[in-house]
């Protein structure tokens, strides 16, 4: 498997930093975080060797949106290790205080309605996400995978052609959270959509090629052969949301709407759909938890944000199915 090649203005520093850590016996499990930083610097066209507070805040807002505080702290800790190395070689770098990460406003995800999802798909399919031709084809497929499978953005972007079984409709998620692999089944509608995407974009490509391969080239920086960056996905997603007339910034969530909201929407819509089919949440949640790659059911419960109307429908179905089981109480 081809390893990521650093492309940003700090590419030499990243490589020297990793070589140093390797010589010291570190396994570099956080390499993917440093790759995210490099992609952010590349996509932001940073041409100065420094990590200013504004630059660090921009990266955190871009790549940490939707993550839990514990995960954000891990990203910040990995960044700070690299920042201290930069300082040691004479490059200005801001050390991010861990205390600030704990004071961040609590993330309140936005759950899209069925009508909003329909509108977003229509806009994406009409090419409203980007002026780049390849992006206009890739992003609608990515949007469908994120919503249809509830994948983390990093999992979807890391998919290779060999990870998709177009015949039976199954995705192989490699090295998910906790470095675990899992199989994810797709709805028939998503499988058919990916078959069309395969014929349009993936025909003739190696099985090791990424499903969403980058075509970005800018002078000495060439990201061709690598997968699309999280910032690319978030930029296209924001354009779709804005064109759909949905406010990016909400009163409860200063961090705004991000692709991770599609994972929450997947859970809520799946629970509502299974309830309509007579499956109780008690039975549905464990299945969804395994599907999402959660280690604990409490993680999945954090994703359930049913609306009042959905709760009413679920209660009605439950009362119809389980009437006569529970003891009655005086009115």
For 194-235, the pLDDT digits (tens) are 999 999 989 889 999 999 998 765 444 445 568 888 989 999
DSSP annotation string for 4-69: P---STTHHHHHHHHHHHHHTT---TTHHHHHHHHHHHHHTT--SS-B-HHHHHHHHHHHSTT--H
Residue 23: pLDDT band (50, 70, 90) is: confident
| Domain assignment present for 256 | no
Same-domain check for residues 140 and 220: yes
Residue 178 placed within a domain: yes
* Among 102, 131, 149, residue at a domain's last position: 102
The domain boundary, picked from 102, 125, 158, lies at 102
Q: Is 144 exposed, middle or buried (0-12, 13-18, 19+ CB in 10 A)?
A: buried
* Domain membership flag for residue 253: no
Report the alpha-carbon distance of residue 215 to residue 193 in Å, rounded: 22
- The model's pTM is 0.63
Rounded CA Rg of the chain? 22
Looking at residue 207, its pLDDT comes to: 92
For 231-287, what is each residue's pLDDT tens digit? Answer: 899 999 999 999 999 876 555 445 578 898 999 899 888 888 877 777 766 677 777
Tell which of 57, 82, 102 closes a domain: 102
Domain that includes residue 299, residue range: 261-320
Residue 202 tokens, joined: 């993936």
Q: Please state, in angstroms and rounded to a whole number, the distance separating the CA atoms of residues 302 and 285.
A: 11
Count: domains in the chain: 3
User: Is there a single domain that holds both residue 127 and residue 231?
Assistant: yes
Instruction: Decide: helix, strand or coil at residue 205.
Output: coil
Q: Are residues 125 and 215 in the same domain?
A: yes
Asked whether residue 285 falls in the same domain as residue 225, the answer is no
Do 44 and 123 have their domain in common? no
CA angle, 206 then 211 then 212, to 5°:
125
Contact 7, 42 (CB under 8 A): yes
The set of residues, in sequence order, having a beta carbon less than 8 Å from that of 171 and lying 6+ positions away, is 145, 149, 151, 159, 163, 164, 165, 183, 184, 185, 186
> Domain for residue 330, yes or no?
no
Residue 329 lies in a domain: no
């Amino acid at each position: 498997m081809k390893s990521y090649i650093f492309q940003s203005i700090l590419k030499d520093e990243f490589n020297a930093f990793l070589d140093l850590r390797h010589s010291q016996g570190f396994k570099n499990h956080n390499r993917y975080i440093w790759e995210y930083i490099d992609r952010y610097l590349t996509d932001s066209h940073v041409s100065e060797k420094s990590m200013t507070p504004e630059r660090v805040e921009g990266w955190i807002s871009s790549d940490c949106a939707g993550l839990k505080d514990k995960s954000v702290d891990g990203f910040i800790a990995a960044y700070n290790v690299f920042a201290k190395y930069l300082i040691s070689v004479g490059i200005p770098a801001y050390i991010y205080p861990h205390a600030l990460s704990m004071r961040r406003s609590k993330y309140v995800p936005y759950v899209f309605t069925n009508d909003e999802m329909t509108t977003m798909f229509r806009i994406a399919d009409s090419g409203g996400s980007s002026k780049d031709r390849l992006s206009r084809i890739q992003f609608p497929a990515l949007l469908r995978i994120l919503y249809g499978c509830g994948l983390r953005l990093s999992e979807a972007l890391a998919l290779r052609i060999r990870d998709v079984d177009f015949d039976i409709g199954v995705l192989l998620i490699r090295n998910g959270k906790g470095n675990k692999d899992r199989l994810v089944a797709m709805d028939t509608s998503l499988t058919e959509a990916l078959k069309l995407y395969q014929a349009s974009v993936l025909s003739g490509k190696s099985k090791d090629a990424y499903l969403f391969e980058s075509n970005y080239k800018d002078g000495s920086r060439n990201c061709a052969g690598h997968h699309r960056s999280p910032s690319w996905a978030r930029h296209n997603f924001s354009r779709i949301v804005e064109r759909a007339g949905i406010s990016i910034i909400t009163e409860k969530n200063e961090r705004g709407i991000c692709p991770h909201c599609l994972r929450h929407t997947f859970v809520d819509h799946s629970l509502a759909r299974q309830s309509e089919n007579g499956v109780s949440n008690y039975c549905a949640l464990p299945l969804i938890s395994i599907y999402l790659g959660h280690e604990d059911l409490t993680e999945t419960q954090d994703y359930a944000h049913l609306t009042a109307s959905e709760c009413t429908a679920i209660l009605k179905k439950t009362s119809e199915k389980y009437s006569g089981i529970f003891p009655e109480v005086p009115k």
